[in-house]
Amino acid sequence: MTKSTPDSRAAMGARTRLVHAGRAPFDNHGFVNTAIWRGSTVLYPNTEELYARRQRFIYGTKGTPTTESLETAWSEISGAAGTVLAPSGLAAITLAMMTATKAGDHVLVVDSAYRPTRVFCDTVLKKFGVETEYYDPLAGAGVARLMRPNTSLVLVEAPGSQSFEMQDIPAIAEVAHARGACVAMDNTWATPLFFPPHARGVDLAIEAGTKYLSGHSDLLLGLVSANADWYPRLRETYDTFANCPGPEDVFLALRGLRTMELRLREAEKQALDFARWLQTRPEVSRVLHPALPDDPGHAIFKRDFLGSSGLFSVVLKPASRAAVAALLDGLELFGLGYSWGGFESLVIPFDCKTYRTATEWKPEGPALRFSIGLEDLDDLKADVERGFARLKKLA
């Protein structure tokens, strides 16, 4: 067979690129998948090679054939100059932020960001002399009013964590770049398949591979991809921290990569069907899903995104905490857990008003976040319908 290349695959479909990217079977004795390489020490044939460090691999923290396979594949599907791996999604966020900041800097972080991102900003970054200012997710180009001479980073996340506001990322990127700031994005919800970050102006794109890249709720992994301007700085920070993931997790992520588009398309279909059903329910005040035509962020979604995933939220009509607990505690098919992107369905209650600072979260009633898995939709609907019956008894 003739080996395909990133250039020859460029015009091919996403599924084809996912199947072939990062694989070199004849570098691995003909085996289809790159093996799990475990190791720290790499030997050199002589002192000349040791002093020059000319080998492809020089030490375990700098990479292995397994990590290189995933980094190469992810860069290809992201349109990136390079990618580094981290042991979790949060580790990827912190790596990206440390790459783009130094003592005395000011950073802008979207008010709807993943809450552990805020904790990192308010603790570690603050301790290191970096000031964080939170901004309205709907600000768009209006972030220009918040930029300072020392603003080094603008962090975006679309849609917003839990509350699902849609940001105008190209507009924000144009403003940030005009002032010399880096744009970093948490792109876990859409993945590069549904939102090509670097083509939309993002410098550092962050992904929790724990979610859709894994697809099976059995690994922890983070990825940061970068454009040509930022990759050297990202790689230098990564090599200095030596905060690398375990080889088994990387291998499982590579396995998940091959079917990610198929699973995302099914998650999109399942979630949209379920979201539309929830819109008909009298217990629901509003469904927060940017792919729905009546969502406030739908126009931006249609312009910038190629699809949606299986995660969205709903705001219920006013109900007591006990009533919501009765709904959730009696569910048979929905697990109560703080993750998503796996094969199983999950739901959690949430309340943004305890930590939002730049904007006010004022829903009509309690809010729930759903991750729709691969179960039969009729079974999932019946499970939640029984939950609504329990809720109404106590509401």
Domains delineated in the chain: 6-257 (3.40.640.10), 260-394 (3.90.1150.10)
Task: Provide the pLDDT for residue 391.
Answer: 97
Task: Provide the pLDDT for residue 2.
Answer: 64
3-state secondary structure of 162: coil
The overall average pLDDT reported for the chain is 95
Condensed to tens digits (0 to 9), the pLDDT of residues 211-250 reads 999 999 999 999 999 999 999 999 999 999 999 999 999 9
The residue among 133 and 36 whose pLDDT is bigger is 133
User: What whole-number distance in Å separates Cα of residue 327 and Cα of residue 206?
Assistant: 34
| pLDDT band, residue 1 (cuts 50/70/90) | low
Task: Provide the pLDDT for residue 4.
Answer: 76
**What is this structure's pTM?**
0.93
Backbone angles phi, psi at 335, to 5 degrees: -80, 155
Contact 9, 20 (CB under 8 A): yes
Q: Is the pLDDT of residue 292 over 80?
A: yes
- Mean pLDDT on 338-360: 95
Task: Provide the pLDDT for residue 381.
Answer: 98
The CA–CA distances, whole Å, from 46 to 12, 64, 99 equal 43, 20, 35
| pLDDT band, residue 90 (cuts 50/70/90) | very high
User: What whole-number distance in Å separates Cα of residue 311 and Cα of residue 268?
Assistant: 8
User: Sign (positive/negative) of CA torsion 92, 22, 226, 296?
Assistant: negative
| pLDDT band, residue 19 (cuts 50/70/90) | confident
